[in-house]
Amino acid sequence: MPKGAPGVPAVTKLDLRIPPPAPKLPRKVYVMGVGLHEFGRFADKDYGELGRVASNRALEDAGVPWTDIPIMYATSMQQGACWGTKVAISMGATGIPVVNMEAACCSTSAAIAQAAYAIGSGAFDLALCVGAEKQPRGYIPTLDMPAWMRSMGLGTYPGLYAQMMQRHMHEYGTTIEQMAWISVKSHKNGAMNPIAHYRNMGEVTVQDVLNSRMVVTPFTIYMIAPTSEGGGAVVIGSEEAVKKYGVRKPIEIAGCVQSSMIYEWDELLYPPSLLRITAKQVYEQAGIGPEDVDIAQIQDGMPVGEIEGLEEMGFCEMGDGGKMAEKGITWIDGSFPVNTDGGYMTRGNCIGATGAAAMAEVVYQLRGEAGPRQVTNVDPKVGLAHNMGAGIQTSIAILKK
C-alpha cells in the first residue's frame, strides 16, 4: 500500500462484543498451486467436469499427483448435495474425505481457511480446495433472506447493495462517475484475463458505463458482476510438502480469517464492523498492517464492494474509496492495484469458485506470472484476497512471497 494508509477504522459500536481471536496457524502453510476453469456459460459441462478441469490445472501447477491428495474441500452455493464427490468421481475416486462447504461468495476462501487450519495444526500435509458453479442467469437466489423479503421484491443483492451505495453517496458525496471508473478499470483488466467471463467484451469508457442499461439506481448493467459458471482450485500444503514436491514459487498463507455477521441495528448488507473486525484479525494473524499490502482482490460485485472494502480494510480514509479508481491508484499501473483480473465485475462471480479465483490472481501477481496484467508500478511481496457474501459472511486471506 502507498505511504499514508490510514489503517482500519475504529470499531466503536461493538467494543463489548468483539468475537474470539482469529485461529492460530502453529506451522506455516503455503499455496502450492492454483488452477482455474474459464468463467462464463458452459451448457456442455456439469459441476463435476468444471471442478475436475480446475483441480487438474491446480495439481499440475503444484506438481502434485491427484492420488497423493489426502483430503478435498469442495465448495458451491447452488448444487444441492454431495457436489464434492462428483468432482472426485470425475477425477477417479480415491476414497479420500470430501468436505462439502458452502459460504456463498466466500465459499472457496472459507474452504481454504479450513484447509489451512487443518494443515497448520498438523493433521494433514496437503489439501485440495475446489469450487465450481452451475447457475441460472439473472439474480442470484437470495436464500438467506426470509420469503416475505423475496416475495416483496426486497431480497435482491443488487437492490440491497444499491441502498448501501445510496447511503455512501449521501454521507460522503461519492459520485456515479467514480463508480463508472471502477467499471472501466475492471473491463480493461478483464479484457486481459483469458479466463474472465467478459474476456471478449473489450474496454469501455465512463460514458459507455453510464449509458448502459439501468438495473437498480445507481448501478447500470456494466457495474454489476455477471453470474458465471466455471471452476477454481487451490492446492495448499505444509513446508514439508513444498520441499517434497519441489514447488518453484511457494506463496505463504500468512493469514486467513472467515467471519460471519455481527448484529448492528442499521445493518443492510455490508455491515462495516464485520469487515473492520475481520481485517484487524487477519492483519494481526499475519503480523502486518494495511500499509504493508502491495496488491488486493476486493469483492466488487457492485462498485460499493470495492469502495467500502478499500475504506474498511484501512487502505484509504472513510469516504475516499470512490476516488481510488478515478485517480488511477487502483489500476494495474497504479500504486495500489486492486482487482487486476477484472474482479467479480468482469472476471465474473462464479459463486462457489470466486474465492479460488481471487486467491489465484494474487498468487499469479506475487509470482510475477500475471502476463499482460502484471502490475508495473509495484514489486508485490504481500497480497490480500477478500470476499464478501450472503449470510452475511466475509473472508480475508493475506499471501506473502
Least distance CB 276 / another protein (angstroms): 18
CB nearer to another protein: pick between 155 and 232: 155
Does the annotation mark 350 as catalytic? no
CB nearer to another protein: pick between 164 and 274: 164
Residue tagged 502476463 (cell numbers) = 371
CB atoms within 10 A of CB 175: 14
CB nearer to another protein: pick between 216 and 396: 216
CB nearer to another protein: pick between 222 and 245: 222
> Under the rule (CB under 8 A), what is the footprint of another protein?
17, 136, 138-139, 141-142, 146-156, 158-159, 162-167, 170, 213-218, 263, 265-268
Q: Which run of H or of E encompasses 238?
A: strand 229-238
Separation in Å, CA 189 to CA 49, 67, 185, 312, 372: 27, 36, 6, 24, 9
Half-sphere exposure in the Cβ direction for 29 (13 Å, CA): 32
Of 58, 42, 56, 57, whose CA–CA distance to 91 is shortest? 56
Active-site position among 105, 129, 256, 350: 105
Least distance CB 221 / another protein (angstroms): 9
CB atoms within 10 A of CB 138: 8
CB nearer to another protein: pick between 165 and 196: 165
Of 130, 376, 362, whose CA–CA distance to 252 is shortest? 362
Least distance CB 226 / another protein (angstroms): 13
Least distance CB 12 / another protein (angstroms): 15
Distance, in Å, from the CA atom of 57 to the CA atom of 363, rounded to the nearest integer, reads 14
β-strands 393-400, 251-260 pairing: antiparallel
Cell of 399: 499471501
Cell of 260: 460471519
Least distance CB 261 / another protein (angstroms): 10
Least distance CB 227 / another protein (angstroms): 12
CB nearer to another protein: pick between 151 and 200: 151
SS3 383: strand
Q: CA triplet 109, 315, 280: central angle to 5 degrees? A: 55
> What would you measure as the largest C-alpha separation in the chain, in angstroms?
56
> What residues form DSSP beta bridges with 230?
133
Which residue numbers are catalytic?
105
